[in-house]
Amino acid sequence: MANSTSILEWLGFRKASGVTEAGWGHTLLVGIVSFIYFLPVLFIIFTAIKPQDLALSVPPTISPTSLFGLIPDQYVFTPTLENFGSVFSRVMTPGGSPEATGFDRFFFFFIFISSVSVLLALVIGTFAAYGFSRYPLKGNDTYLFIILTTRMLPAIVIVIPVILMFRVTGLSGSYLGITLLYTAFNLAFTIWMMKSFFDELSTDVEDAARIDGSSEAKVFLKICLPQVVAGLAATFVFGLILTWNEFLFALLLSNADTRTVPVAMNQAVSSGGRGTDWTLLASIETLFLIPVFLVTFFLQNHLLRGVTFGTVKR
């Protein structure tokens, strides 16, 4: 033990009244681990701003700046924003002139589809979750389980029946169809998430409100909802990320005009017969990252904050 203590001390840990306090060693360690986690993202962003011909160069260029001479010149590339331009407009056929790729529309509609489906699922799902939590039906657990099946089974299993359902209803290839499908998926997730948040609340506060004269609607809107704001934020972010990443259903249920960004990304990169265009892929991915990053960033306080603070002690 003595040996490990000295290593900890050597790393800069200090003991303060029995609790190990963070010193510079601790900070450094966390810094390194965080950097490793962030490395793939950094790699994609750097690739997005590399000149196209350096994408596969050996040795690889690893930094847009020499960091005051720290990195040798052969590893440094000159950043460019050209790749982002070719996301929206580029030469599609050899010898042709630049054409619009339709990515501006794909991005716009995908943001629209994702937000609408996640928000719609959040509204319906929160009501449903409150119902499941507070007014249990006979066989409540069975219903909850059935709701979960669409999320639990591998997507590949249910994709064929869903395609058939979309064919029959004529929703195939429409934005409405994809929005409805994503809402249904998110609904399962939202109901489960929100039910657990409602289950956590003390029903005493609701009973107190009833005795103080609140109607059931007021109990839900004025008493319960404000206590699960953090839960709503978390569910929104997770639902958005799930939707944002969905590929399989979008691939099979959208057509050339109604592609979602993940599908369009796949097709843009592999089209043209010139092999994979890595810088193009990286720039689409970088753009693709921004909306979810922003939402998560602005809701992080809600994600971190406790659900209730000191109101009901158990």
Partner 1 sequence: MSTIEIRKVTKMFGDFTAVKDADLKVAAGEVVCLLGPSGCGKTTTLRMIAGLERVTAGDVIIAGKNMNELSPQKRDIAMVFQFYALYPALSVGQNIAMPLHYEKLSKEEMDKRVMKVAKILHLDTVLDRLPGQVSEGEKQRVAVARAIVRDPNCFLFDEPLSRLDVELRHSMRGQIKEVLSGLSKATVIVTHDQLEALTMADRIAIMRDGLIEQVGSPHEVFAKPANVFVASFIGTPQMNLIEANFKGYGDGKAKVVFDKQEVTIGANAGVASLKPGKVTVGIRPRAFSVASRDTKDTIDAQAELIEPMGAETLIHARTITGGDIRVVVTRDKRVKVGELLHLVPDPAQTHIFDESGKAVRA
- What three-state secondary structure class fits 52? helix
Quote the least distance from Cβ 236 to partner 1, whole Å: 20
- Answer yes or no whether residue 311 interacts with partner 1 by CB under 8 A: yes
Bridge partners of 14, per DSSP, are 21
CB atoms < 10 A from the CB of 280, how many?
23
Amino acid identity at 171: L
Is 207 a binder of partner 1 (CB under 8 A)?
A: yes
Nearer to partner 1, 148 or 205 (CB): 205
CB 313 → partner 1: shortest distance, Å? 6
Q: Does 214 bind partner 1 (CB under 8 A)?
A: yes
The answer to the question of residue 223 lying near partner 1 (CB under 8 A) is yes
Neighbour tally for 232: CB within 10 Å: 20
Closest distance of CB 230 from partner 1, Å: 12
Q: Which is nearer to partner 1, 105 or 210 (CB)?
A: 210
Among positions 211, 217, 255, 273, the unique one binding partner 1 when judged by CB under 8 A: 211
Q: End-to-end CA distance of the chain, in Å?
A: 39
Side chain identity, residue 79 = P
> Whole-number minimum distance, CB 126 to partner 1, in Å?
17
Closest CA to 106 of 120, 87, 124, 122: 87
Sign of the dihedral through C-alpha 196, 200, 206, 207: positive
Q: Which two tokens stand for residue 150?
A: 């669409």
Using CB under 8 A as the binding rule, whether residue 208 contacts partner 1 is answered as yes
Amino acid (one-letter) located at 182: Y
Least Å distance, CB 216 to partner 1, is 9
> Which of residues 209, 265, 268, 295 is near partner 1 by CB under 8 A?
209
Site for partner 1 in 105-134 (CB under 8 A): none
* Peptide bond just before 59 cis, omega within 30 deg: yes
Q: Alpha-carbon dihedral of residues 117, 297, 227, 123, nearest 10 degrees?
A: -10
Binding to partner 1, residues 38-67 (CB under 8 A): none
| Residues facing 89 on adjacent strands | 100
Determine, following the binding rule CB under 8 A, whether residue 310 of this chain makes contact with partner 1. yes
Q: Which stretch binds partner 1 (CB under 8 A): 49-57, 187-195, 203-211, 276-284?
A: 203-211
Does 148 bind partner 1 (CB under 8 A)? Our answer is no
Structure tokens at 57: 């160069």
State the residues that interact with partner 1 by CB under 8 A.
Answer: 202, 204-205, 207-215, 223, 226-227, 308-314
